[in-house]
């Protein structure tokens, strides 16, 4: 395990990152930038160079390729707002980035009744958030409104990022259930 790496150490292996970017890019939505994947892949290569041991049967290239692709997928998961189990089951509506804002057409400013209903929903949601325990309120507000990174919460609470994402989803599900019981 090397403690200090330079660009000269990384350069001979950058072809592994370029190949991995091409493979991963075919499996992800078009709005994912190759440069973002390349950056995550370079981090994976750096980690692979630090951690590779000649003990075992794997060659460096095969071992590093797995680490590079893993780093790319980790980065994609970190950036994804949707919990993995929903993404896997498809229980969500994905809206393309270039799609017109369909929500503008749902509530017309001329429709006072609809505008009042939206305000009632906001008041009800705020009231339900106020009923949550303080720790859940803090998590919800900092993750959803202040967009605090999951990794910070994970480090603070000494749990995995996946657990923080799961907690966030559970809180949102609870709020949605309570709002449905209120008729919203």
**Phi, psi at 107, each rounded to 5°:** -125, 115
89 occurs within a structural domain: no
Q: Are residues 58 and 22 in the same domain?
A: yes
97 occurs within a structural domain: no
- Work out the mean pLDDT of the chain and round it to a whole number: 76
At 70-81, the pLDDT tens digits run 898 888 888 777
At 23-52, the pLDDT tens digits run 988 888 888 888 888 999 998 888 888 887
Q: Are residues 74 and 118 in the same domain?
A: no
Contacts of 141 (CB under 8 A, 6+ apart): 129
91 occurs within a structural domain: no
Instruction: Specify whether the CB–CB gap between 70 and 24 falls below 8 A.
Output: no
> Is the CA virtual torsion 119, 121, 123, 125 positive or negative?
negative
CATH of the domain at 151: 1.20.140.160
CA 66 to centroid of chain Cα atoms = 20
Amino acid 135: pLDDT: 81
Question: Domain boundary residue among 24, 47, 79?
Answer: 79
Amino acid 103: pLDDT: 45
Amino acid 54: pLDDT: 62
Its domain, for residue 140, covers 102-181
123 occurs within a structural domain: yes
CATH of the domain at 64: 1.10.1740.10
For 31, 72, 120, the CA distances from 97, given in Å and listed in that order, are 8, 21, 29
- Residue with the bigger pLDDT between 161 and 111: it is 161
The pLDDT confidence band at residue 159, using thresholds 50, 70 and 90, is confident
Amino acid 57: pLDDT: 59
The pLDDT confidence band at residue 92, using thresholds 50, 70 and 90, is low
Q: Are residues 106 and 74 in the same domain?
A: no
Q: Are residues 11 and 75 in the same domain?
A: yes
Instruction: Specify whether the CB–CB gap between 132 and 126 falls below 8 A.
Output: no
For 12, 94, 121, 177, the CA distances from 180, given in Å and listed in that order, are 58, 23, 10, 5
95 occurs within a structural domain: no
For 109, 118, 178, the CA distances from 115, given in Å and listed in that order, are 7, 5, 21
1 occurs within a structural domain: no
Q: Per the structure block, which two tokens stand in for 33?
A: 């930038």
The count of structural domains within the chain is: 2
Q: Are residues 106 and 71 in the same domain?
A: no
Asked which of 59-63, 105-109, 127-131, 145-149 is least confident by mean pLDDT, the reply is 105-109
Token match 């189990």: residue?
85
Q: What is the DSSP letter of 145?
A: I
């Amino acid at each position: 395990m090397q403690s200090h790496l330079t660009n000269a150490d990384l350069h001979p292996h950058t072809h592994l990152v370029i190949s991995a970017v091409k493979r991963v890019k075919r499996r992800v939505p078009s709005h994912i930038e190759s440069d973002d994947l390349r950056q995550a892949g370079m981090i994976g290569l750096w980690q692979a160079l630090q951690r590779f041991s000649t003990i075992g049967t794997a060659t460096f290239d095969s071992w590093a390729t797995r680490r590079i692709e893993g780093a790319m997928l980790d980065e994609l998961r970190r950036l994804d707002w949707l919990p993995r189990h929903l993404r896997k089951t498809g229980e969500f509506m994905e809206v393309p980035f270039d799609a017109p804002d369909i929500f503008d057409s749902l509530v017309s400013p001329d429709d006072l009744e609809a505008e009042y209903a939206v305000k009632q929903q906001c008041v009800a949601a705020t009231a339900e958030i106020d009923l949550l325990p303080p720790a859940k309120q803090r998590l919800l507000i900092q993750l959803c409104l202040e967009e605090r990174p999951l990794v910070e919460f994970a480090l603070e609470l000494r749990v995995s990022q996946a657990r923080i994402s799961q907690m966030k989803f559970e809180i949102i599900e609870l709020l949605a259930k309570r709002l449905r019981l209120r008729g919203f």
